Chain A
Amino acid sequence: QKEVEQNSGPLSVPEGAIASLNCTYSDRGSQSFFWYRQYSGKSPELIMSIYSNGDKEDGRFTAQLNKASQYVSLLIRDSQPSDSATYLCAVNKGFSGGYNKLIFGAGTRLAVHP
C-alpha cells in the first residue's frame, strides 16, 4: 500500500464546473496535509494546507480533511482552463525541531475544457 494514494486521472471537467480531487493516506499519525499544483515543466506550487478536520476555503479552492477516514480532498469551484495541471497531495509525517518529511502522492492530472 502506498503511503499517499491519488487517482492518476486524467480528470476532465468542463469550464465553470467543480473539480473534485481525492487523496488517502496510510499513516494515522500524519499531522498536516497539503495540495500542490504542478504545471507541465514547472516545479510544484503550494495552493492549500489543512491541519484540522473539516473544511478550509481559500478563494475558489476548498480543502477537506477527515482524519478518521484518512482522507483529504480538494474542490476547485468555477474551474478554468488555467487550472489544468497535475495536483499533488502531500502528507507531513511529522514536523518538529530537526525533522520534517513530506510524502507526495503520484498526482491527479486535471484537464478543464472550454
Chain B
Amino acid sequence: SAVISQKPSRDICQRGTSLTIQCQVDSQVTMMFWYRQQPGQSLTLIATANQGSEATYESGFVIDKFPISRPNLTFSTLTVSNMSPEDSSIYLCSVIGQGGAGELFFGEGSRLTVL
C-alpha cells in the first residue's frame, strides 16, 4: 500500500483562524479523499480531490469552509477556514489501494483542537 504522510500531525488553533493540512503520497494516485472524524464519532467523507479538476464535496461540506488543492498526482491540501470549536476533529487523507475494490488506506491523521 502507498505511504501517506500528513502534516501537521496535531495543532491547537484559535477560533477564527485557518489551517492548511498537507497530504503527500509516495506514488501517483488519481483520487485522494479527505475524511473528518469528530471526537467519538466515525469517519465522514468531506470531499474527493482529483488532479486537474475541482474537488467534489459531500452534502454538508462547502468549498468556502474546506478549500482543497490538488496540484499534482502525489499531493493535496485541505484548509479548514474560519475555525470554530466544532471543527475540532481528526482530519484524514486517504487513497485507494491496489486491491481493485475501492478499499482506502489512510494517513496518520491531523488532530486539530480549536479553542
**Contact size range, B:** 20 to 34
- Is there contact, CB below 8 Å, between A98 and B50? yes
- Is there contact, CB below 8 Å, between A102 and B104? yes
Q: How many A-B residue pairs have CB under 8 A?
A: 59
Bound Cα distance from A51 to B109, whole angstroms: 27
- Stretch from B13-21, B60-68, B70-78, B94-102 that touches the partner: B94-102
Chain A residues with Cβ under 8 A from B99's Cβ? 49
- Is there contact, CB below 8 Å, between A46 and B102? no
- Is there contact, CB below 8 Å, between B107 and A92? no
Q: Chain A at the B interface: mostly helix, strand, loop or mixed?
A: strand
Name the interface residues of B37-72: CB closer than 8 Å to any CB of A. 41-45, 48, 50
Tell me whether A26 is interfacial, beta carbon within 8 Å: no
Tell me whether B92 is interfacial, beta carbon within 8 Å: yes
Q: A43-B109, A98-B50 are in contact. Are A104 and B43 (CB under 8 A)?
A: yes
Number of interface residues of A (CB under 8 A): 23
- Is there contact, CB below 8 Å, between A43 and B42? no
Tell me whether B31 is interfacial, beta carbon within 8 Å: yes
Bound Cα distance from A102 to B35, whole angstroms: 10
Tell me whether B108 is interfacial, beta carbon within 8 Å: yes
Name the interface residues of A36-52: CB closer than 8 Å to any CB of B. 42-46, 49, 51
- Is there contact, CB below 8 Å, between A43 and B107? yes
Chain A residues with Cβ under 8 A from B90's Cβ? 43
Bound Cα distance from A101 to B43, whole angstroms: 12
